[in-house]
Amino acid sequence: MKSDKLVIKLSELDNVAVVPHAKGLQIGTALENGITVQEYVPMGHKVAIKDISRGESITRYGQKIAIANEVIKAGQWVNEHKISLPVPPDLDSLSYEKLPVKKARALNGYTFDGYKNADGSVGTKNLLAISNSVQCVAGLTEYVVKKIKKELLPKYPNVDGVVGLNHSYGCGIAIDAPAAIVPIRTLKNIALNPNFGGHALVIGLGCEKLRPESIVNNASDDTSIFYMQSEANEGFMAIVDDVMKLAEKHLGTLNKRKREPCPASDLVVGMQCGGSDAFSGITANPAAGFAADLIVRAGGSVMFSEVTEVRDAIHLLIPRAADIEVAEALKREMLWYDNYLKLGQADRSANTSPGNKRGGLSTIVEKALGSIIKSGTSPIVDVLAPGEKIRKKGLNFAATPASDFVCGTLQLASGMNMHVFMTGRGTPYGLAEVPVIKVSSNTVLSKRWHDLIDLDAGQIATGEKTIEEMGWELFKMILAVASGKMKVAADKLELHNDLVLFNPGPLT
């Protein structure tokens, strides 16, 4: 891909190409093979490079992304009004034939400075986490978090910060409904995130359905749970004082943690994209995929997620399953989500946002093909149901909704210690719990948002960098950020999103 290219074609089979230039493609521009541009095509959008008849497939990445609703002449703009969505791959008819995989060369010698935990996990931050068992106490949590930051943190220089894990769950819920397992295990596993050192403190109200004991790791430790309704305290300030005392105990323990060299195999990187555009699948996601392969070669773990952005490319992922159990688990998660959407009388086309479409992503199929590239090329070794803790090193599929903050929350529960987030349209997304490296898919965005974007993968489209170079750059950035040697934009500005639980169960 060169900067002087008027359009980017990804496969010889493609009948459309993407416009890389910020100014778009003007009427009358001459393309290769004697094609003249018939109408203005904006940046990131697709131009037909062959005549396409009505009912014919629109092909990008060598795959069918849509069906033409009308005759589209070479040189015309291919937008969502001229095409319709093909049917998704039928899960029942997908059989498992393992793709022959070349054994990847091990990558040795890469380390980062992390915080080792008793359970074998490694933190990239040293944080005091204050969780709670119900939204009722969210105000108390916020109050004490502010007070701890101001009054206690300066006394514990080895502690990087304090985070309140407020959420909307805990009461008014059908706690025995089968689907309640998702939010409950998410809260339990978030408290175990490597960045909290096994010392999360949980505030309960007292009368809620979800018991703090069920979301805290060590319920017998009387410093890990506090009940606001405890009769021992008179008045709010007495309650606050008690929480502050408990917090101080945890801070004392956390303050003893020190960064030490850890192999790159201790990385657990959650990959996600949001606010994608047509470049995401050409620049940022392929660079992330290359970095994902490097992490796996180094013995580390990578998670990719977002079921609705995987569903239409599942036929490409099943052959990458390490064994038949993983293939079946992939299908199981797709089927679960198909049914979940059906219950809400929605389908997968609900995924693409107006911003995606303005950015040139016309259908969920096109979005999915660009999205799965961030998983790289490694075999998929395990599939995690929403909120489950990671069990195996290597490439994992962690099933989550594609919604940015819900996916991020679930990946936190699965145990990520680094987050990489690709965006084309731009989002200020960040998490207080783990560092989030934001990678832009195009240079226009990274220039406009120079203080919000950490890495510009748009250089791949302009020809300044190759996917490999950008992938290595991202890998090294992950190690630097994980070591605390580099601060991501979201942390510098303290732009942090709320935790948003995935609750597929009923409220009462």
Taking CB under 5 A as the rule, does residue 402 contact Ca ion? Answer: yes
The amino acid occupying position 402 is: A
Which residues, at least 6 apart from 256, have a Cβ–Cβ distance to it below 8 Å? 158
* Geometric angle at alpha carbon 313, from 58 and 429, rounded to 5°: 100
* 154-182 core/surface letters (b: 16 or more CB in 10 A; e: else): eebeebbbbbbbbbbbbbebebeeeebbb
Phi, psi of 442 (to 5 degrees): -140, 150
Binding mask 250-279 for Ca ion (x = CB under 5 A): ------------------------x-----
Report in angstroms the alpha-carbon separations of 345 from 70, 293, 307, 374, 412. Answer: 28, 37, 17, 30, 29
Least distance from Ca ion to the Cβ atom of residue 503, Å: 18
Least distance from Ca ion to the Cβ atom of residue 375, Å: 14
- Closest CB to Ca ion among 114 and 274? 274
- Closest CB to Ca ion among 274 and 415? 274
CB-based closest residue to Ca ion: 274
Taking CB under 5 A as the rule, does residue 182 contact Ca ion? Answer: no
Least distance from Ca ion to the Cβ atom of residue 282, Å: 18
Q: Which of residues 274-313 bind Ca ion (CB under 5 A)?
A: 274
Residue for token digits 């589209």?
72
Least distance from Ca ion to the Cβ atom of residue 77, Å: 27
Taking CB under 5 A as the rule, does residue 401 contact Ca ion? Answer: no
Q: Dig out the tokens for 442 from the structure.
A: 């195009």
- Closest CB to Ca ion among 204 and 274? 274
Only one of the segments 93-101, 114-122, 400-408, 474-482 lies at the binding site for Ca ion (rule: CB under 5 A); that segment is 400-408
- Closest CB to Ca ion among 7 and 291? 291
Strand order in the sheet with 46-48: 16-18, 46-48, 77-78
Report in angstroms the alpha-carbon separations of 98 from 148, 330, 333, 483, 485. Answer: 53, 14, 19, 37, 41
Least distance from Ca ion to the Cβ atom of residue 400, Å: 9
Contact assessment for residue 397 and residue 414, using Cβ atoms and an 8 Å cutoff: no
Only one of the segments 58-66, 163-171, 394-402, 462-470 lies at the binding site for Ca ion (rule: CB under 5 A); that segment is 394-402
Residue among 404, 433, 454, 491 that touches Ca ion (CB under 5 A) = 404
Q: Dig out the tokens for 471 from the structure.
A: 């992938």
Tell me which residues touch Ca ion (CB under 5 A): 274, 402, 404
